[in-house]
Amino acid sequence: MTLAFDPTTGLVSPLVHGLFQGSAYGLLGLGLVLLYKSNRIFNFAQGEFAGVAALVAYLFDTGSKGLPKVPYAVAILLGVAAAVLVALLTERLVVRPMFHRPRVVLLVGTVGVALFLIAVEGLVYQDIAALRPIDQALSIDPIFTRLDRVPVLWSDLAKLIMLLALAAAAFLFFRLSRMGTAILAVSQDATAARAVGISVERTSMLAWGLAGLTGGIAGVLLAVPPFSTTPGIFTGTILTTAFAAAVVGGITSLPGAFVGGVLVGLVQEFASADLPLVPGLGSIRGGGELAVAIVLLGILLVRPKGLLGSET
């Protein structure tokens, strides 16, 4: 039996949810692009930078595990600061000693960091944690507006606004600042950059600090209901799709992280909502993930550098 098409559930709802879910992918994808653009490293620990931020913010917001209960804004800042600190320690203790090794060695190193952080998170807090959304902290109506009966939440809107702001800031940083230019120079040829007086160590630490910042902001924005935080949840449920978003948008393009994230989110939501309406496809499980995989393979075949990426 063919289901009838409902404009609200088949068009407006996936459009709204896809836009905001894509913003979530773009937030993590932005950090992935940032490190690849600066260090030519695929950072598999990016999801756990977000996980650390979410867990620390939750513990301070609730006063759990013997920690003092602090105001919501302070808890958020502490969570983001924890993510930045973890990223800086990763650079200093793992990346820097292996900086001149083959990039595949560094990739494996970031996998090890991710597994280590998941284990630490499990030791610290085994239960399900969910941060209060911003509307609850401010005691306001959670719904910003409605589009054809589909609610637009303040917490979802915050994801989109922050993604746009971070993507624009990162793009301007690399285009207009001397430090941004220095980071790009190190990524192209560290020896030549050092020869003209650029500190390779300082630029590498800055790039990783920025990746920790973007990951931390992603963590505190995403870890609100209906999503909840458990050890490894960001790596297991969001990071792989964020990688797909970064590749679709262009792994060397910061605006591409935004474009790729939103595109992947829309494809996933529209496929999940509308595939059951297509005769013969209604029984497919995981239609959204299948659609994302098809789009990803198509981009890799037709335009390997991504929609907005440049040759690496």
pLDDT tens, position by position, 146-205: 887 888 888 888 888 887 888 788 778 878 888 888 877 777 767 777 777 778 788 889
Of these ranges, 10-19, 44-53, 121-130, 226-235, the one predicted with the greatest mean pLDDT is 44-53
Within 10 Å of residue 65's Cβ, how many Cβ atoms? Answer: 10
Report residue 81's pLDDT band, with 50, 70 and 90 as the boundaries: very high
pLDDT of residue 74: 95
Which tens digits make up the pLDDT trace of 106-115? 999 999 999 9
pTM: 0.86
Omega before 97 cis (within 30°)?
no
In terms of Cβ atoms closer than 10 Å to its own Cβ (0-12, 13-18, 19+), residue 297 is exposed
Interior CA angle at 224 toward 289 and 53, to 5°? 95
Q: Per DSSP, what are the bridge partners of residue 147?
A: 150
Question: Looking at residues 72-80, what average pLDDT do you find?
Answer: 94
Asked if the model's pLDDT at residue 9 lies above 80, the reply is: no
Query: Looking at the chain, which runs of residues are DSSP E strands?
Result: 143-147, 150-153
Asked if the model's pLDDT at residue 304 lies above 80, the reply is: yes
- Asked which of 14-23, 48-57, 103-112, 178-187 is least confident by mean pLDDT, the reply is 178-187
Domain boundaries defined on the chain: 15-302
CA dihedral 185, 188, 194, 196 (to 10 degrees): -50
What's the rounded Cα separation, in Å, for the pair 135 and 236? Answer: 27
What's the rounded Cα separation, in Å, for the pair 74 and 25? Answer: 25
Within 10 Å of residue 157's Cβ, how many Cβ atoms? Answer: 17
What's the rounded Cα separation, in Å, for the pair 204 and 189? Answer: 13
CA dihedral 41, 44, 49, 55 (to 10 degrees): 180
What's the rounded Cα separation, in Å, for the pair 22 and 17? Answer: 8
pLDDT of residue 5: 59
pLDDT of residue 26: 86
Number of H helices and E strands in the chain, helices first, is 14, 2
Mean pLDDT (the chain, rounded): 85
Tokens of 165: 């702001």
Asked if the model's pLDDT at residue 284 lies above 80, the reply is: no
Please state which architecture CATH assigns to domain 15-302. Orthogonal Bundle (1.10)
Asked if the model's pLDDT at residue 240 lies above 50, the reply is: yes
Report residue 277's pLDDT band, with 50, 70 and 90 as the boundaries: low
Give 276's DSSP letter.
G
Asked if the model's pLDDT at residue 1 lies above 50, the reply is: no
Phi, then psi, of 177 in degrees rounded to 5 = -95, 150
The position carrying tokens 């030549």 is 192
Determine what percent of the chain is predicted with pLDDT higher than 70: 91
Cβ–Cβ < 8 Å for 208, 95: yes
